[in-house]
Amino acid sequence: MDIETLLAKHEIMDLRLGYAAHLDARDYDSFMDLFTEDAVCEFGPEYGGDWVGRAQIRERYEDVMLSAGGAFDAIHVVTNPWITLTGPDTAHGRWYLLDCLTRQMPVTGLHTQGGHNNPLLYLGIYEDDYRREAGKWRIARTRLHFLWPERKFEALAHPSGR
């Protein structure tokens, strides 16, 4: 692996870690800077289908995160990065998600009871396509395959993004 590939993978890792940190802090301005203008988020029909473009992505995230509470009431733990460069300015990646609640909350339509009884909110796999624009890596597409509490998993793309 050459140094350019290693640096690109490290920048992409920082991008996905920034996603978790900014979302958990409810810092939506910094969070939205992580996406391309034409980004797509795929979370399934229970979350309103595909969210397309920064404006809709922000609106939908803000709505969904209201049910999870305020800053750091839920935390996204992303692990096991598997990143493949697919071109000079494109990449594909996978991350495991452990989404945890840090406070007690009642059961809602989208969530299990969290906090002391069971801090686990979701288990899943993020599958991302990244694009480097003006020297900065951004998320062009993300899909969350839910594995728990309800399994919404079909198949993963090949690590190369194909």
Q: Is 83 helix (H, G, I), strand (E, B) or coil?
A: strand
Q: List C-alpha distances in Å: 104 to 52, 107, 108, 118.
A: 32, 10, 12, 9
Q: What is the pLDDT of residues 22-81, one digit of tens each?
A: 999 999 999 999 999 999 999 888 888 999 999 999 999 998 888 778 899 889 999 999
Residue (of 28, 84, 77, 83) closest to 57 by Cα position: 28
Q: Which of 8-17, 50-59, 86-95, 150-159 has the lowest mean pLDDT?
A: 150-159
3-state secondary structure 33-72: CCEEEEEEEECCHHHCCCEECHHHHHHHHHHHHHCCCCCC
The pair of three-digit structure tokens given for residue 47, joined into one six-digit string:
């979350």
Q: What is the pLDDT of residues 104-136, one digit of tens each?
A: 665 555 555 555 567 888 899 999 999 999 999
Model-level pTM?
A: 0.89
Q: Under CATH, what is the fold of the domain 3-148? A: Nuclear Transport Factor 2; Chain: A, (3.10.450)
Domain parsing of the chain, residue ranges: 3-148
CA 139 to chain centre: 9
Through-space distance between the first and last CA atoms of the chain, rounded to whole angstroms:
21
